[in-house]
Amino acid sequence: MMKNEINALIQSRPFHQWLGLEVTDVGEGHVEITAQWRPEWIVNPEGNYIHGGILASLVDLGADWALFSHTGRGVPTIDLRVDYHAAARGNLRIVGTVLKAGRKISSAEAKVFDESGKLVASGRGVYQTGE
C-alpha cells in the first residue's frame, strides 16, 4: 500500500484525527508517522510534558500500522509493553517496524521521538493477524 493510501486511512479515523497523525514514510513492514502536539496531552502544566497514555497509544499505533503496511488490513492488539525513556514535549515522530509476521500472531515495535530526535518512549506489541 502506498503512503497516500495509508495516510488517508489514518486520517479518516476520529482518534487519529485528534492526535494529528500524518504518515511520512511507508515501506514493507515499516511506517513513520508524525503527531501534532495538543494542549490536551499535557499531564503536568508545570513540567509541560505529555501524558504516558498518549505515548502508549502512539507506540500501539506505530506498531499496528507497521503491520498494516505488511498485511494490508487492521489487526487487533493482544498485548502491549511500553517503556518510557524521557519526558516528552511538543510534536512527536513515531517509527514502527514489524519484528515477526506470523500467520496467526505477529509482533511489531515502535519508537517515539521528540522534535530534537530524542527517544521518549518505545514498546512492542503482539497482534492477531489470523484466525
Domain that holds residue 90: 3-128
pTM of the model: 0.95
Count of domains for the chain: 1
Q: Look at residue 44 in the predicted model and tell me its pLDDT.
A: 87
Phi and psi of 110, rounded to 5°?
A: -145, 145
Q: Look at residue 1 in the predicted model and tell me its pLDDT.
A: 62
Q: Look at residue 95 in the predicted model and tell me its pLDDT.
A: 98
Average pLDDT for consecutive 10-residue bins of the chain (131 residues)?
Answer: 86 94 94 96 92 98 95 93 97 98 96 97 96 82
Looking up cell 508524525 gives: 34
CATH number at residue 19: 3.10.129.10
Cα 90 to Cα 19, 42, 93, 116: the distances in Å are 12, 10, 10, 10
Residues with Cβ within 8 Å of residue 50, at least 6 apart in sequence: 37, 41, 42, 43, 87, 88, 89, 92, 120
